[in-house]
Amino acid sequence: MAITEICTIIALKQLSPTHFDMILDAPKLSEMAKPGQFVSILCGHSRTLRRPISICDALEGTLRLVFEVRGEGTEYLSKRKVGDTLDVLGTLGCGTFPILDDDRPVLLIGGGIGAPPLLYTAKAQKAAHAVLGFRNEAAIVLKNDFYNACETLMIATDDGSFGAKGTIEAPARLLLSKNKYSAILACGPKPMLKAAQSLAEEFGIPCWLSMEERMGCGIGACLVCACKTKDENGEEKFSHVCKDGPVFPAEYMVW
């Protein structure tokens, strides 16, 4: 079920040279939000397509979105002012992160702008550990939020300017060999998702991945946001990130 809601911006903060943290007054959408879901935002009258942004948190009638300026649309969002309104379509995605009723924690693996949706996901679990990867120290977002929401937090940067140097793989492997996890939940660039999937296989635990694809309608009608998956019988098809996803069980992905 999706609706459009005209939301007032109640806070907009710059987190890094390119990252922004936006809080929207969204009484209806915040009620509907599930971990892993996203919204799609109209970015002014001159752009045909809405921009998909993950739900980073949903609290007391508000939605929190954390985004990076990549092009015209996200730049438009970053230039809004508190009190401005945005036309927001949501909440989108039937494939969401599971909320596991398990005493073992989940392991969250995220990178770059894949980190935001994992925050809402972390808060929904009984217990979560997180390994987050970023380009460098300046690109790290939500460190304190994850620190508060997770029992364990490890950060890796590509250049080693903060935390472990390199990808999330070594720190994730370290945690996986020390602790028992109920599942791996991951969101980030494709190489990171593949690494999460192979770690899950290696340690024999279930894994869910959040995928990204360019979108048209955002609700499952136009079949634009295709991503290749296979079913139980191994038959390949194009699923749709906006409706079937954005979160998929890792075993269904075809890379």
Ligand X SMILES: Cc1cc2nc3c(=O)[nH]c(=O)nc-3n(C[C@H](O)[C@H](O)[C@H](O)COP(=O)(O)OP(=O)(O)OC[C@H]3O[C@@H](n4cnc5c(N)ncnc54)[C@H](O)[C@@H]3O)c2cc1C
Ligand Y SMILES: Cc1cc2nc3c(=O)[nH]c(=O)nc-3n(C[C@H](O)[C@H](O)[C@H](O)COP(=O)(O)O)c2cc1C
What are the residues whose beta carbons fall under 8 Å from the beta carbon of 95, sequence distance 6 or more? 36, 244, 245, 246, 247, 248
At 103, give phi and psi (nearest 5°): -80, -20
Q: How far is the CB of 216 from ligand Y (least distance, A)?
A: 6
At 43, give phi and psi (nearest 5°): -115, 65
Is 224 one of the binding residues for ligand Y (CB under 6 A)? yes
Nearer CB in complex with another protein: 63/89:
89
Applying CB under 6 A, the residues found at the interface with ligand X are 38, 49, 51-54, 66-68, 70-74, 113, 116, 212-214, 246
Is 222 one of the binding residues for ligand FES (CB under 6 A)? yes
Q: How far is the CB of 103 from ligand X (least distance, A)?
A: 30
Applying CB under 6 A, which part among 9-17, 74-82, 110-118, 239-247 lies near ligand FES? 239-247
Q: Are 43 and 77 in contact (CB under 8 A)?
A: yes
Q: How far is the CB of 244 from ligand FES (least distance, A)?
A: 9
Applying CB under 8 A, the residues found at the interface with another protein are 1-4, 42, 46-50, 87, 89, 213-228, 236-238, 243
Is 217 one of the binding residues for ligand FES (CB under 6 A)? yes
